Structure 1
Amino acid sequence: MKRGQQLSRYLLQRLGWRIEQEVQVLPQKYVLIAAPHTSNWDFVIGILARSALGLSINFVGKDSLFRGPWGILFRRLGGHPVDRSRSSRYVDGVVRLFEQHEHFALCIAPEGTRKRVERLRTGFYYMALGAKVPIFMAAFDWGHKVIRISPPFWPTGDWEQDREVVEAFFRGVPGFHPELGYGYPVNA
């Protein structure tokens, strides 16, 4: 185990977090969706978890985050800027990234924002479908300080049917701000 991995495990434990995952060996290529995304702290915990697990997972963020000194840091952490005004070209571009790399994993927040949403965005789904890779789901349960990682889910091409599986995994999981989490009761 590398020094950074040990440090990340230690920090997660000191913060009271644990990771539960059914699959110990991940494939060479996959899309990981992490939710609920209700705070910037999700990013910090996610980076620590990625390091603690010894994984190399890329992420995307709005292009404005990649300006100036933060851009240098985010790129070094595996970030890729996204021009959200061009969503269709973006999905195709990510599929090309999967095709160009022997090993490539991408983490996306399916809500697309830290604000409360009524439905998930579908970009992650079409990226996985186009790249012919599985989807793993990571629920950031701030109520119990647990990150639960699902077994692989292979998209069928029928979003309406597959959406039920995705929504069921995240339903009721409290985020940092529970009232903002997708599928979490507003009065919780």
Structure 2
Amino acid sequence: MGMDFQPPHPVQFQGSGLARALVRALGWRVDFAGLPTLQGVIVVYPHTSNWDFPVAVLLKWAVGIPVQFWGKDTLFRIPLFGTWLRWLGGVPVRRSAPQGVVGQMTAMMKQKKADGEYFWLALSPEGTRRLTAGWRSGFYRLALEAGVPVGLAGLDYSRKRLVFRDFLRLTGDEDRDLEYMAGALQDFHGFRTGAAAPVRLINSGLSQADTIVK
């Protein structure tokens, strides 16, 4: 589980000094010690507000970690906005594709592994800012099928911090894996208290709500 990966991790980054200064000025901090592998899936939790995306982007620049996120392909066709999404790390996916969104991303992740190329995908398994009964399973299926680790990024407004140090390889035992994640993320509080979904899988499929950008 999470003990599989101990810092310092081999994949390191150099962030933006300007972004770090802005993060400090806003009273935030980031606890991050690098990545254990060149490919993986990042779970960002909890997701309760529109503020989560700009805050996460600023903290990402501060530590210098390049991450991708998936979004509906139609968004990337919008002039300027689509270019901006790609610049941020957006990856277009077609929900109507025969292999599905998870299938598309799994194939891409496996190809990146085969080529030895960097590729970390970040997403919110809650899929919405509203309170839901749990997490959508797209991230779990992707990481398990691609054979990559899951990184847990806890976004905590109560203490203005992002903690991203915990990584685990999924066992395929959903109850065991989700119990570990719940324990690792239990002390993180979203912008809207009480709107965070409980850490449990609520479906076996993937809908558009699994995307970070909708």
User: Which interval holds the TM-score relative to the shorter structure?
Assistant: 0.7 to 0.9
Q: Aligned partners of 1:96, 1:152: CA distance in 2, in Å?
A: 22
Asked if 1:105 corresponds to 2:115, the answer is no
CA contact (8 A) 2:43 2:124 kept: yes
- SS of equivalent to 2:141: helix
Q: Shift of residue 61 of structure 1?
A: 2.9
**2:49 alignment counterpart:** 39
**2:161 alignment counterpart:** 146
Q: Deviations over 1:64-114 (max 9, x none)?
A: 544523222111111123455679611111111112222110001010111
**1:15 alignment counterpart:** 26
Q: Which stretches in structure 1 are left out of the alignment for 5+ residues?
A: none
Please tell me the residue identity of whatever aligns with 1:24: G
Aligned-residue RMSD, C-alpha: 2.3
CA contact (8 A) 1:170 1:183 kept: no
CA contact (8 A) 1:171 1:183 kept: no
Q: Aligned partners of 1:43, 1:32: CA distance in 2, in Å?
A: 14
TM-score, normalised relative to structure 2:
0.76
Q: Which stretches in structure 2 are left out of the alignment for 5+ residues?
A: 1-12, 200-214
Q: Shift of residue 181 of structure 1?
A: 1.4
Aligned length: 182
Identical pairs, percent:
36
Q: 1:79 aligns with which of 82, 86, 90?
A: 90
Q: Shift of residue 52 of structure 1?
A: 1.4
Query: Structure 1 residues 84, 35: CA separation in 2 closer, same or farther (over 3 Å shift)?
Result: farther
Q: 1:119 aligns with which of 102, 112, 134?
A: 134
Q: Aligned partners of 1:87, 1:9: CA distance in 2, in Å?
A: 43
TM-score, normalised relative to structure 1:
0.86
Asked if 1:173 corresponds to 2:188, the answer is yes
Query: Structure 1 residues 150, 167: CA separation in 2 closer, same or farther (over 3 Å shift)?
Result: same
**1:92 alignment counterpart:** 103
**2:211 alignment counterpart:** none
CA contact (8 A) 2:40 2:143 kept: yes
CA contact (8 A) 1:173 1:181 kept: no
Q: 2:69 aligns with which of 38, 51, 59?
A: 59
- SS of equivalent to 1:173: coil
Q: Aligned partners of 1:83, 1:143: CA distance in 2, in Å?
A: 37
Query: Structure 1 residues 143, 85: CA separation in 2 closer, same or farther (over 3 Å shift)?
Result: farther
- SS of equivalent to 1:181: coil
Q: Aligned partners of 1:87, 1:115: CA distance in 2, in Å?
A: 29
